Amino acid sequence: ATVRYEAENAPAVCEGAIESNHTGYSGSGFCNSTNAVGAAAQFTVNAASGGTATLAIRYAHGGTDTRSANIVVNGTQVESASAFAATGAWTTWTTKTVTVPVNAGSNTVRIEASTAAGLANIDYVELADGAPAQTGAI
Ligand code: GCU
Ligand code: CA
């Protein structure tokens, strides 16, 4: 199934501020990380089984630089200085996908700024674990 995890909903952690001043986000806001190396948006995501899953990260970046982030899953860095290209406006959101290793059950995903510019604004992540969608109880 594909499940969305909003940056503003605990147990997600935004090392910075949840803001809502740029439209187009999902839910009630997005994470504007602190402008510092290591500042992160952290998510707790669930996978039906262990293996690899696809993580989609929705973000906006209205600056002219390329922001970059390390992607750390369960404490292991799986991408180093992964690029978050400019989207043209802070109200223009796009999705970047990353293949990540997951354990069955709960997993911690940290998107951690690798430069002092901080992260792009992060709206949510969606984890697609390849398992069939849950239907109602039968
Ligand atoms: C602006 C923008 C923020 C963004 C910041 C940045 O201040 O309003 O949403 O996070 O630039 O460059 O990181
Ligand atoms: Ca910022």
Q: Is 88 left (phi over 0), alpha (psi -120 to 50) or beta?
A: left
Residue 137 scores a pLDDT above 80: no
* pLDDT tens profile 27-64: 999 999 999 999 999 999 999 999 999 999 999 999 99
Q: Which atom of ligand 1 is nearest to the CA of 119?
A: 13
Q: How far is CA 23 from the centre of its chain?
A: 18
How distant, in Å, are the alpha carbons of 43, 112, 123, 138 from that of 67? 19, 11, 15, 46
Q: Which residues line ligand 1 (CB under 6 A)?
A: 22, 32, 63, 90, 118, 121
Q: How much distance in Å is there from the Cα of 32 to the middle of ligand 1?
A: 7
Q: Which ligand is nearest to the CA of 33?
A: 2
pLDDT exceeds cutoff 80 at 102: yes
Report ipTM (2 d.p.).
0.99
Q: How far is the CA of 48 from the centre of ligand 1 (A)?
A: 36
Q: State the pLDDT at residue 131.
A: 86
- Tens digits of per-residue pLDDT, 104-134? 999 999 999 999 999 999 999 999 998 887 7
Whether residue 138 has pLDDT greater than 90: no
Q: What is the pTM of this model?
A: 0.96
Q: Which of 18, 32, 87 to mutate to test the pocket of ligand 1 (most atoms within 8 A of CB)?
A: 32
The strand pair at 51-60 and 121-128 is best described as antiparallel
